[in-house]
Amino acid sequence: MATFRQDVEATIPALRRYARALTRNADTADDLVQDTLVRALRSEHLFHGGDVRSWLYTILTNLNRNRLRSLARRPSLSSLDDNDAPDLAGPEAGGRDIERALATLVEDQRNALLLVVLEGLTYREVAEVQAVPIGTVMSRLARARVQIKSYLDGERPALRRVK
């Protein structure tokens, strides 16, 4: 049991990073991490070995999905506005571009991309987190990269109109 908690504790910095990239807001991200940890601690007895890290990523990814769904039910704010919210981390211009590009991705594609390039999970691990075959992970990754490239190559005017 002590090992379980040590493993959880050791993963917190990475969870915060993943959550920050998913939400692009420091407080929302930490709330997400907190809810993830509370849930993990409560489900400790359900954990029978395996990779704690992947399990935590799975919980966080699912909680974020719920969060986005409940946001979608709120009519007042678009995701673009969300992205315009001030970020405490004070991004430089380059960081801002990649944040906006990430915001244009479909959720599953964004999750897959971040888990691979930011969190360093293998395709197999991402497949477990997302509960899909590896082929699906790869096509999500491919589509995410196409979308980000075309966004950064200058399709921003089209997105402006959505707003």
Partner 1 sequence: MNDRDSPVSEDELHAYVDGELPADRREAVAAWLAEHPEQAALVAAWRAQAESIRARFDSVADEPVPERLKLDNLLRSTRAIRRSWTSVAAAAALVAFLAGGTAGWMARGATAASPTGFETFTAEALDAYKLYVVEVRHPVEVPGSDRAHMTQWLSKRLGYEQNIPDLKSLGLTLVGGRLLPGPTGAAAFYMYEAPSGERYTIYCAKARVPETSLRYKDGERYSAFYWVDDKVAYVVSGPAEREKLEAVSKAIYDQLDKGDTKKS
Work out whether 52 is an interface residue with partner 1 (CB under 8 A).
no
Work out whether 76 is an interface residue with partner 1 (CB under 8 A).
yes
Q: What is the DSSP letter of 85?
A: S
Q: CB of 5: closest distance to partner 1 in angstroms?
A: 6
Rounded to a whole number of angstroms, the CA Rg of the chain reads: 16
* Residue 1 burial (C-beta neighbours within 10 Å; 0-12, 13-18, 19+): exposed
Work out whether 41 is an interface residue with partner 1 (CB under 8 A).
yes
Nearest to 109 by CA among 76, 66, 147: 147
Structure tokens at 52: 């704690």
CA distance 96 to 133: 32
Among 52, 55, 58, 70, binds partner 1 (CB under 8 A): 70
**Could you list the residues that contact partner 1 (CB under 8 A)?**
5, 8-9, 12-14, 16-17, 20-21, 23, 25-28, 30-35, 37-39, 41-42, 63, 66-67, 70-71, 74, 76-77, 81-82, 85-86, 88-89, 91, 94-95, 97-99, 101-102, 113-114, 116-118, 122-123, 138, 141-142, 145, 148-149, 152
